[in-house]
Amino acid sequence: MSRALEDTVALVTGATDGLGRGLAKRLAAMGMSVHVHGRNADKLARAHDEILAATGNERVFTHRADLASLAEVRGLADEIGALDALHLLINNAGIGSGLPDSPDREESVDGIELRFAVNYLAGFVLTERLLPLLERSAPARIVMIASLGQAALDFDDPLLERSLTKAAAPTPRASSPRSPTPTSWPPASSPPGSPSTPSTPPPSCRPRSSSTSAAPRSTPSTAASNRPSASPSTPSSTPSPATSSTASKRPAPKPRPTTPTPSAPSAS
């Protein structure tokens, strides 16, 4: 958004704990005017004081509303709607499944399944009623924060009237038929009827070399360059045992007969 941070107005719902409080603190530290929402008045006051002490930003305002009541959601929208501008709406408030402490199905004051009322309907109603203010404050932005812990919505039973855990859990992968690889050798014990333990441990249990890097292999050109070059004019002073033994077994070459060269006749 092309606007100075000190001129930006933000609303963060569910800002008394966790991500919401940390986000509100970060926005206040950046210089924004931050409106902090919470359900509990005491926690809301503590969050306000903490943000003020940490950032020194006095433009931090609190709004109490229980999002499990659509009437209080509309009241929160009316409070924020009375502002001159709203540039950033962050719908962060939400509740978890309640398991295992509250395994039973719960309802809001409006008779709606509690998680559906708070996590979905409240954010929708609040955003819909604040749209005119957001449009007048454009450029503006709406941020919806969700959780990986929430299951997909069952459109055949959105209020979980038939089952609290309607969404099926992920099917676990089938275990591998192969035997697990041992990590020590020899094994502590073998099941009855198993063959005797071989003397050679499997590769996974063999000790690794203490060297951190393997020695580089020499290439043919490198190996050839490392060999001593033999000079054709300078014979080796010490022949190898194989050369000397071979030379001693060969017969000496027979001398070739020489033909006398006739001398030129002398002039008398």
* Separation CA 38–CA 110 (nearest Å): 19
Look at 38-42, 119-123, 156-160, 256-260 and tell me which has the smallest mean pLDDT: 256-260
Architecture of domain 5-144: 3-Layer(aba) Sandwich (3.40)
Summarised one tens digit per residue, pLDDT across range 192-223 is 555 555 555 555 555 555 444 444 454 444 44
Longest Cα–Cα distance of the chain, Å, equals 155
Per the DSSP assignment, residues forming a β-bridge with 9 are: 33
Q: For the residues of 8-29, what is the DSSP string, one character each?
A: -EEEESS-SSHHHHHHHHHHHH
Residue 182 and residue 205 in contact, taking contact as beta carbons nearer than 8 Å: yes
More confident position, 150 or 127 = 127
- pLDDT at 1 exceeding the cut of 60: no
Average model confidence (pLDDT) across the chain: 75
* Token duo for residue 10: 């933000």
- pLDDT at 184 exceeding the cut of 90: no
CB within 8 Å of 229: residues ≥ 6 apart: none
- pLDDT at 245 exceeding the cut of 50: no
How much is the pLDDT for 172? 44
Look at 37-41, 159-163, 230-234 and tell me which has the smallest mean pLDDT: 230-234
* Token duo for residue 98: 């309640």
The structural domains of the chain, with segments of one domain joined by +, span: 5-144
State how far the alpha carbon of 145 is from the alpha carbons of 90, 113, 142, 261, in Å: 7, 20, 10, 116
> Of 76, 142, 149, nearest to 115 (Cα)?
149
Average pLDDT (28-34) is 98
How much is the pLDDT for 98? 64
Virtual torsion, Cα 56, 57, 63, 64, nearest 10 deg: -10
% of the chain surpassing 70 pLDDT = 56
| Residue type at position 22 | G
Virtual torsion, Cα 116, 122, 127, 130, nearest 10 deg: 160
* Separation CA 50–CA 248 (nearest Å): 101
